[in-house]
C-alpha cells in the first residue's frame, strides 16, 4: 500500500504544476478602455491616424525596396503596395483634420489651451532700476520651465509708484523691466522662450505716494497645455 502511495505523489504534484500554469483570463475590455482614453479627442485622433499612416507608408517603402533589390514580385505585390499607399494617404488626411480641429479649438478658446501664472515679483527702491529683492528660487523655476516647455512666453511687467512725473515713471518702469529681462537671460533662459517687456508705469493710487508695493516688476509665464475633454 505504501508503494502505491509513493507512486501517486509525483502525479499529484504534476497536476498541481499544470494547474498553476493555467492561462489567466485576458481582460480585453480594460485594454480597449486604455486605447480609447489615449485616442480620445482631436489630438488623440491625430495620434491614431498619424501612426497608421506611418505603418502603411512603411509597407509601401518595404515593397519598393524589394523592387530596387531585384527580388521576385508579381501583380499582387504591386496591388498590395498601392492599397497600402492609399490607406496611408487616407490616414494622413484624417490626421490633418484632427490636428486642425485641435488647433482651431486653441485659437477660439485660448483660455483653455494657455495657462498664465505669476511666478515672480521683483521690488525696487524709489527711483531705482536696480533689483532690491527677488527670490532666487522663482528665477530658477522660470529657467527650468523655459527648458521643458516650448513654446513658453514670459511677460516682464514694470510698475512704479506715483512719485515723479508720469513720463519719467513710464521710462523707469521700462528700465526695471529691462533689468529683469537681462537677469533672466543671464541666468540661462532657453533661447526658444519669448521674453516680452511691458512697461506699465504708475501702478495707480494717490499722486506723489512712495508705495513700495508698486515699485515692482511682475514676471508672468504663459504656457500651452492640452485642452480638457
Give pLDDT, residue 163: 93
Give pLDDT, residue 1: 43
The label of the residue with cell 522660470 reads 142
To 10 degrees, the CA torsion angle through 33, 36, 41, 46? 160
Q: In order along the chain (229 residues), what is the average pLDDT of each group of 10 residues?
A: 46 51 78 87 90 94 90 84 94 92 68 71 95 92 86 92 94 97 95 93 90 94 62
Distance CA 119, CA 152 (A): 13
Give pLDDT, residue 22: 60
Count of residues for the chain?
229
In SS3 terms, 30-71 reads as: HHHHHHHHHCCHHHHHHHHHHHHHHHHHHHHHHHHHHHHCCC
CATH number, domain 114-224, options 3.10.310.40, 3.40.640.10, 3.30.1330.60, 3.30.70.100: 3.30.1330.60
Give pLDDT, residue 222: 82
52: which 3 cell numbers? 497608421
Give pLDDT, residue 217: 97
Amino acid at each position: 500500500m505504501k508503494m502505491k502511495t509513493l507512486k501517486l505523489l509525483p502525479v499529484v504534484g504534476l497536476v498541481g504544476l499544470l494547474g498553476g500554469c493555467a492561462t489567466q483570463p485576458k481582460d480585453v475590455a480594460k485594454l480597449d478602455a486604455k486605447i480609447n482614453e489615449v485616442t480620445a479627442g482631436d489630438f488623440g485622433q491625430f495620434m491614431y491616424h498619424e501612426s497608421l499612416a506611418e505603418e502603411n507608408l512603411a509597407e509601401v517603402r518595404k515593397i519598393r525596396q524589394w523592387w530596387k533589390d531585384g527580388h521576385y514580385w508579381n501583380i499582387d505585390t504591386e496591388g498590395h503596395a498601392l492599397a497600402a499607399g492609399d490607406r496611408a494617404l487616407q490616414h494622413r488626411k484624417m490626421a490633418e483634420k484632427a490636428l486642425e480641429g485641435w488647433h482651431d479649438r486653441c485659437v477660439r478658446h485660448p483660455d483653455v489651451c494657455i495657462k498664465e501664472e505669476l511666478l515672480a515679483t521683483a521690488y525696487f527702491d524709489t527711483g531705482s532700476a536696480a533689483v532690491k529683492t527677488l527670490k532666487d528660487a522663482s528665477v530658477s523655476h522660470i529657467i527650468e520651465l523655459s527648458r521643458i516647455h516650448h513654446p513658453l512666453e514670459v511677460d516682464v511687467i514694470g510698475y512704479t509708484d506715483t512719485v515723479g512725473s508720469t513720463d519719467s515713471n513710464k521710462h523707469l518702469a521700462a528700465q526695471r523691466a529691462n533689468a529683469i529681462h537681462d537677469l533672466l537671460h543671464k541666468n540661462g533662459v532657453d533661447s526658444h522662450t519669448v521674453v516680452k517687456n511691458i512697461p506699465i508705469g504708475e501702478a495707480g493710487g494717490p499722486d506723489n505716494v512712495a508705495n513700495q508695493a508698486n515699485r515692482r516688476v511682475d514676471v508672468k509665464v504663459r504656457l500651452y497645455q492640452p485642452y480638457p475633454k
